[in-house]
Structure 1
């Protein structure tokens, strides 16, 4: 009986051994990931932590079967391009590019290594993905990732619930900034949905922010600062005027709460990195990056400043204090 079965068992044993060896070889393979960060910032540091956490959950652990080659371009375009060239020589398995500067550098120069970008505000405008592409679509190239474009509609809807007494909202922006206009259009639409009015003030320089805020005093119940680089650059002038005129001030990025905003529903940058890390794990598992849709971050966190509330004459509802992910007291 055994003599008859033995010849049949040998091929099975060989196949089992080969399969086991292949799995063992895969587990021993060191994955090389290049990380190129545009500049140092706490939000981008959270992005990196989320990315590595997601990969670790999928079995790709730094210090184990993953080696990270970390670089920082220090907001210098020339250095970003140098890093991209260095990554070509390293023969990496994947690149994680963080923010626009370094993402553009690697996407422009590298076409044979999978690239996962994160914390890029406008992937289409930055030419990381095809021009007619949109969040949720596939690039068809070696690129995918997660954008940190402000989810304006979600943010504004939440702010109107937070401060439901406000029926007129002021906004300050530079009409010369194309990215800003995209957010303003969205704000107009969501304000109609929320049945609140918008009073718009335009500026051309960050030095005009204080004057613009003074103009809104008595005309609005609250001010929301949209994604507008000119207004954000002059944010201190807005905050000071809001404190003087007792106008509640809201913004779409949590870092501005410590600089004078009453509250912000801002993107969770750990989650942006985490979502990008999940895409990276799919790629390392054999999926083509061009078949994985790029997307915009959706998860927001609430940060409240009790100090700004006092300065701006606002009593914060206990309900929202309980919902806050972080409270700045002084």
Structure 2
């Protein structure tokens, strides 16, 4: 009898093991992938990067809640919060860092976790990767390096009499510091001079804009802090009848006049595709070259142009992918 009971117990255990290891569809019973996604602030372009990443992962077969669980975090522009977010991601299988400050913080805190960044202006200059072709380590991603010379050329095309640019940027953002240097280097070739004002938080945007007196236009690069509070800059531009040029296409809907920028949703999709390929092939993220955005789009707000005292040439309007009338 004891031998029979022992035999029956073994059979039952074997059947339990088989049923828990797979189902009739052959789906794996492994735990879902844990992915942490962090961004420095909440604004439409960064949200588009996040949504594009998730969209690409879904297209690659990662069903949310079944194959993958996303932990979405927003630092609301606060570095202490961003550091705490990085600490909370230590158990993730993969992390996504949206924008330069986020990528720097996560890379420092999680050197052994696969990290894919998006919306990073100059990953080499920020010390994130060894080179674009061979990033090295556990990190790679996509860059939104703006075409500064082309952006300044657009300023001259729309407002040919412009002589002085009012450049507003965040002193604590490495990406913004890099772009400020690029603007200063490129401006003289187009007959432009540059006046700068810096801020440390979005609450200072209006004050910074007001300090830039005697300028012919305002220009903002891919600066997360300024863009998160761009309405304050728009208000000053309208009051002074000074056109506002930006590097963020979604700011057009918020009152900026013109932008020459990358498609941030498309860049988010590209980042997700890179992550999905890494998960399929293995290896290290640092073996995957950084992808730099090539397709640039002109976006215009004709209502904003009127409020800022500018008539945009039809030749420029004809090239725009987005026009707010």
Taking structure 1 as the reference length, what is the TM-score of the superposition? Answer: 0.70
Q: What is aligned with 2:40?
A: 38
Q: What is aligned with 1:281?
A: 276
Q: What RMSD, in angstroms, separates the aligned Cα atoms of the two structures?
A: 3.8
Q: In 2 relative to 1, CA 241–58 (structure 1 residues): closer, same or farther, beyond 3 Å?
A: closer
Alpha-carbon distance between aligned partners in 2 of 1:28 and 1:322, rounded to the nearest angstrom: 54
Tell me by how many angstroms 1:71 deviates: 2.9
- CA deviations over 1:237-269 (Å, ceiling 9, x no partner): 875665566554423223443554321112322
Equivalent of residue 299 in structure 1, options 295, 302, 311: 295
Instruction: Tell me if the contact between 1:174 and 1:180 (Cα under 8 Å) persists in the aligned partners.
Output: no
Instruction: Tell me if the contact between 2:299 and 2:321 (Cα under 8 Å) persists in the aligned partners.
Output: yes
- CA deviations over 1:45-92 (Å, ceiling 9, x no partner): 111111122223333343453332333333343443333333323xx3
Q: What is aligned with 1:227?
A: 221
2:113 is equivalent to residue 117 of structure 1: no
Q: In 2 relative to 1, CA 175–279 (structure 1 residues): closer, same or farther, beyond 3 Å?
A: closer
Which secondary structure state, in structure 2, belongs to the residue aligned with residue 281 of structure 1? helix
Instruction: Tell me if the contact between 1:33 and 1:93 (Cα under 8 Å) persists in the aligned partners.
Output: yes
Alpha-carbon distance between aligned partners in 1 of 2:33 and 2:58, rounded to the nearest angstrom: 12
Which secondary structure state, in structure 2, belongs to the residue aligned with residue 155 of structure 1? helix
Tell me by how many angstroms 1:235 deviates: 6.8
Which secondary structure state, in structure 2, belongs to the residue aligned with residue 97 of structure 1? strand
In structure 1, stretches of 5+ residues that fail to align are 1-20, 217-221
2:263 is equivalent to residue 261 of structure 1: no
Q: In 2 relative to 1, CA 256–288 (structure 1 residues): closer, same or farther, beyond 3 Å?
A: same
Alpha-carbon distance between aligned partners in 2 of 1:176 and 1:73, rounded to the nearest angstrom: 16
Q: What is aligned with 2:12?
A: none
Tell me by how many angstroms 1:121 deviates: 3.7
2:267 is equivalent to residue 272 of structure 1: yes
2:200 is equivalent to residue 198 of structure 1: no
2:90 is equivalent to residue 77 of structure 1: no
Q: What is aligned with 1:99?
A: 99
2:147 is equivalent to residue 151 of structure 1: yes
- CA deviations over 1:292-327 (Å, ceiling 9, x no partner): 122443433322122222223333344543443333
In structure 2, stretches of 5+ residues that fail to align are 1-21, 200-204
Alpha-carbon distance between aligned partners in 2 of 1:287 and 1:170, rounded to the nearest angstrom: 49
Alpha-carbon distance between aligned partners in 1 of 2:114 and 2:299, rounded to the nearest angstrom: 35
Taking structure 2 as the reference length, what is the TM-score of the superposition? Answer: 0.71
Which secondary structure state, in structure 2, belongs to the residue aligned with residue 88 of structure 1? coil
Tell me by how many angstroms 1:25 deviates: 6.9
Alpha-carbon distance between aligned partners in 2 of 1:54 and 1:314, rounded to the nearest angstrom: 40
Which secondary structure state, in structure 2, belongs to the residue aligned with residue 105 of structure 1? helix
Which secondary structure state, in structure 2, belongs to the residue aligned with residue 81 of structure 1? helix
Count of residue pairs brought into register by the alignment: 291
Q: In 2 relative to 1, CA 199–313 (structure 1 residues): closer, same or farther, beyond 3 Å?
A: same
